């Protein structure tokens, strides 16, 4: 019974400190977010996705209020997954002010992930443009 309740809560809120988004909530949670967003496209069966999960949870906790971390389950959000051309997981989109600043594919070690965050979300790089992330 406890495992079932935990699974239901996780399905609504995502993993600790991370927002779970789907086809119906992606625009509101990611595109219109006042904060920069790291979008983690993953699947429950994906071993590399599970490997990086502790790093994402840690960063979500440390950067709470400064960067939003969102998760998209590719098996449940097929429209969003397809519209962003996600062909491999894990894939991370870095979205700020509705614009995709960059993307990375594959499990990334914690030190490299922090450097990538700085590269895509540093104030100087935000002015350099990007690709509109709207569908």
Which of the following is catalytic: 18, 37, 38, 46?
Answer: 46
Give catalytic status of residue 46 as yes or no. yes
20 in helix, strand or coil? strand
15 in helix, strand or coil? coil
Which of the following is catalytic: 19, 21, 49, 72?
Answer: 49
Contact 56, 18 (CB under 8 A): yes
Contact 102, 134 (CB under 8 A): no
Determine the angle formed by the axes of helices 47-62 and 110-121, rounding to 10 degrees: 60
Give catalytic status of residue 49 as yes or no. yes
CA distance 108 to 91: 10
Catalytically active residues are 46, 49
């Amino acid at each position: 019974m406890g495992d079932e309740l935990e699974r239901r809560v996780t399905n609504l809120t995502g993993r600790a400190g991370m927002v779970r988004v789907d086809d119906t909530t992606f625009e509101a949670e990611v595109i219109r977010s006042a904060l920069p967003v790291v979008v983690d496209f993953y699947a429950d069966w994906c071993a590399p996705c599970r490997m990086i999960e502790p790093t994402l949870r840690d960063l979500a906790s440390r950067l709470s209020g400064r960067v939003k971390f969102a998760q998209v389950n590719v098996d449940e959000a097929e429209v969003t997954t397809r519209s962003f051309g996600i062909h491999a997981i894990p894939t991370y989109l870095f979205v700020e002010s509705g614009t995709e600043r960059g993307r990375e594919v594959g499990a990334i070690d914690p030190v490299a992930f922090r450097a990538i965050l700085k590269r895509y979300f540093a104030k100087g790089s935000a002015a350099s443009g990007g690709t509109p992330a709207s569908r």
